[in-house]
Structure 1
Amino acid sequence: MSDSPETETPHRAGTVAVLGRPNVGKSTLVNALVGAKVSIVSPKPQTTRHRLLGIATFQDGQIALVDTPGLHRDQGGRAMNRYMNRAARGAVDGVDAAALVVEAGRWTEEDGLAYALLRDAGVPVVLVINKVDRLADKSLLLPFIAEVTQGREFAAVHPIAARKQDGLRPLVKSLLSVLPESPPLFAEDEITDRSERFLAAELVREQLMRKLGQEVPYSTTVEIETFEEEGERLRIAAVVWVEREGQKAIVIGQGGERLKAIGSAARLSMEKLFGRRVFLQTWVRVREGWSDDEAALRQFGYGE
């Protein structure tokens, strides 16, 4: 095969907003494409609260994936919900393309809301139909694709199972095809624009989402008070903030067992991501109504 420039595949690079309603697997997809855990995941909707860049580097291109909170109907909810919707809507500003992630067999009003936002942004949109492995009757997939693409314009359509990393190669090819010819935007070893301090807080919050009941995790946030290198080890002190004394007792658990389990699981995740030993200490404190307090949100890192 000739090595002349005429026959080489041009290198492409750009930003892709990953948008969709809550709990369709956006963060799972970003992690799968990046090849590392840059976004936390849990079975609960609205686990993602921040915009976050996941950098996926391939031989013929680089995709900067803008992971976003799930876009949902804003019905005058808490300040936190308004913040997440602003973060999701703002993610389309200045991107080169977008991936609209939906759940196989299910199209809701919120999916339509996300599509309308992307249509108005005027960028190429790749439809990603996730969780096809969970579709009990696979014969329903083609009619579903026909239904959701009717009257809507997509650059490509890809059924995938992000959790199993099925269908990702063709998806990457389509995403790269709608990006401009460009050298890499980031170094090959970069995987996110977020600091290790931020990622440490998120990994603690991930365990809160996973190990607590349905309501309490949404009233928690995590603040890193100390992040220090001690030789080959990291020393991290994290504060779990809750809104009521009763929630504090739930997070700590009987004899401190639940908080210990949360910290242990978070520490293991940190060691895997950071590639070194971690000494993690956790505390629980109360700040009344923080999730509906704009000043508190800013203090805890929920900026614009």
Structure 2
Amino acid sequence: MNTTDKKTNKHYKLGYIGIVGRPNVGKSTLLNYILGEKLAITSRKPQTTRQNLLGIHTSEKAQYIFVDTPGLHQQADKKINQYMNKSARLALEQVDVIVHICDSTRWTTDDDYVLQLLKRHDIPVIAVLNKMDLLSNMDAIIPEIEAMSTRYPYAEIVPVSALKNRNVSHLLDVIANYLPLGDKIYPDDQLTTASMRFIASEIVREKLFKALHQELPYSIAVITDSYKEVDGKVQIFVTILLERASQKPIVVGKGGKIIKMIGTQARKELQLLLGQPVELRTWVKIKENWSDNDSSLQQLGLNQGIDHF
């Protein structure tokens, strides 16, 4: 509870906003821009986000508590994909407003799948047509808005470019219109409820996603084994889990080149985030078929659904 505000503002808004959509439509990029800090990891590969993540944005008129969710997708053969879908579906049941993010340049069957899930909920849904900067001209957004209005009775349809910061402030104003009245529950400077242990493992995983090609990143999990301050620096030990022994030489690279590069990139980003020196050590281990095993996913904390809020 924020104790800095002694007076209650009767017009202040507070609410939870579920950010949903198919994979790779820019959900995490949008959240990061709104927060003014890179909190959610991103990459060009779909299904980068695996767990719900709370992001908190506080303004003079509202406290927005965003729930960034994994991309909803129909092809969910492995247990991890089923848990990712379940995590996103659970978020829809616990929020005040849903922000449905779509790619303004194309509509897919996974978008249809998301739409069917939205129809089960009786709360305001705001459609966000992202990536408007990729359209040939501004007039090209008009038919996209018209098409969206025929698909679902959205409360509002807002075109934005999360990457180029176009119309994002307007989107926040629109969302605030649908939030309930309420007092702040988090301090003004708090951006998330996620632990630094979690954020550290996610930053390492992001670097792996960007360095590795094809399907290999989807066979990788990262666990923070230890996170502590020692002699004026933060010491972080992480384990990189792979599903097959044959993947280890690819991740490590010749002479350890790849794993050293990933470690260096992650350490630099963590130092910027923490504002102090970081010692980052990585180990690579094999845990066969972890992504399709209930017990392994439970140990990794990847089947917990949604943060408590």
TM range (shorter): over 0.9
Aligned residues: 297
Q: Can you list the C-alpha shifts for 1:146-183, whole angstroms capped at 9, x where unaligned?
A: 01211521121111110122211100000111001111
Kindly state the Cα deviation for residue 119 of structure 1 after the two structures are TM-superposed: 2.8
Q: Can you list the C-alpha shifts for 1:105-164, whole angstroms capped at 9, x where unaligned?
A: 312222122223223111101111111111235432111110121152112111111012
Q: Can you list the C-alpha shifts for 1:215-246, whole angstroms capped at 9, x where unaligned?
A: 11000000111111114310001111001111
What letter corresponds to residue 170 of structure 1 in structure 2?
A: H
What letter corresponds to residue 21 of structure 1 in structure 2?
A: R
Whole-angstrom CA distance in 1 between matches of 2:182 and 2:275:
31
Whole-angstrom CA distance in 2 between matches of 1:74 and 1:86:
13
Whole-angstrom CA distance in 2 between matches of 1:92 and 1:186:
21
Matched with 2:236 is 236
SS of the residue corresponding to residue 116 of structure 1 reads: helix
Percent identity over paired residues: 38
Q: Can you list the C-alpha shifts for 1:245-269, whole angstroms capped at 9, x where unaligned?
A: 1111100001001000111111111
Structure 1's unaligned 5+ residue stretches are none
Q: Please, what is the CA RMSD of the aligned residues?
A: 1.5
Kindly state the Cα deviation for residue 36 of structure 1 after the two structures are TM-superposed: 1.3
Native 8 Å contact 1:105 1:140 kept in 2: no
Matched with 2:52 is 51
Distance 1:141 1:9, change over 3 A: farther
What letter corresponds to residue 45 of structure 1 in structure 2?
A: P
Whole-angstrom CA distance in 2 between matches of 1:53 and 1:257:
34
Matched with 1:172 is 172
Distance 1:151 1:245, change over 3 A: closer
Whole-angstrom CA distance in 2 between matches of 1:62 and 1:119:
27
Spell out the pairing of 1:123-202 with structure 2 (5 A cutoff): 123-202=123-202
Please give the TM-score of this superposition, normalised by the length of structure 2: 0.93
Native 8 Å contact 2:224 2:236 kept in 1: yes
Whole-angstrom CA distance in 2 between matches of 1:85 and 1:32:
24
SS of the residue corresponding to residue 163 of structure 2 reads: helix
Of 27-36 and 267-276, more deviation after overlay is shown by 267-276
Matched with 1:18 is 19
Kindly state the Cα deviation for residue 9 of structure 1 after the two structures are TM-superposed: 8.5
Matched with 1:41 is 42
What letter corresponds to residue 204 of structure 2 in structure 1?
A: V
Whole-angstrom CA distance in 2 between matches of 1:151 and 1:131:
19
Whole-angstrom CA distance in 2 between matches of 1:94 and 1:223:
27
What letter corresponds to residue 163 of structure 1 in structure 2?
A: L
Please give the TM-score of this superposition, normalised by the length of structure 1: 0.94
